[in-house]
Amino acid sequence: MDSKNAPTEATPEATPDDPVLAPPTPATPTEPMHGYWPDYPNAWLETHHRFVAEAQKGEAQVVFLGDSITQGWGANGKSEWDKRFAPLGAVNFGIGGDRTQQILWRVEHGTLDGLSPKIVVLKIGVNNLWGDLQEYGEEKVADGIEACVRAIRRKVPGAKVLLLGILPTKQQPDNPLRLGAQAINARSAKLADDDHVFFRDLGEAFLEPDGTISPDVMPDYLHLSPEGYRRFADALEPVLRELLR
């Protein structure tokens, strides 16, 4: 499960003065709540602070905001990122394990402050499939994604928001989590006005002809391999360049 692992590139060295957050209290998908990595109690907040400092430089033209799949552009996806997205003035604000709750908290606490980006690329929701989907249902998770879009629009009203659908997960196409993601994506697609908010479901890029997921693309049927990021970049780059025109 995504929320249990903190990617190493986002785990700063601890010092005695580093802040430590308590484990988050339960929150619905529409309620802001900080994140927490049990194995690195200070690291989530330190990562957030690093992103806030980057935002305050005011230089980013494209902001990638999301969970570990977004964060992975700095690891398995780094080659593609350096070739395709860094030249567009992009920054990567992905944090492993984040759900809609954490995106809402981060936007409220400075993640986009000081920026005037042309595009914010939001990819969130897969971690809500564990727990939140069962407890609150598809509609509430979709409401959380909508709340994230609205929060971004309030913070950077001049930016286009490119909302990406939850990527397919689990190997088989009839897996309940895969079907839940599809239902949430169908609701999220309705947020697009093709003026300020755009929606793209790029999930087909990761599937084999029979609808399964290959471990060569997603070794754990969730996170992307270098080949997975190549497919992601192939599907995403033309969309970004079109929106940047």
Would you please indicate which residues are annotated as catalytic (active-site) residues?
68, 220, 223
Distance CA 236, CA 163 (A): 11
Q: Is 174 exposed, middle or buried (0-12, 13-18, 19+ CB in 10 A)?
A: exposed
Q: Do the beta carbons of residue 151 and residue 104 sit within 8 Å? A: yes
Distance CA 27, CA 22 (A): 14
Write out the H or E segment, with its range, that includes residue 131: none
Q: Where are the beta strands (DSSP E) in 95-231?
A: 119-123, 160-164, 197-200
Write out the H or E segment, with its range, that includes residue 165: none
Tell me the residue type at 233.
A
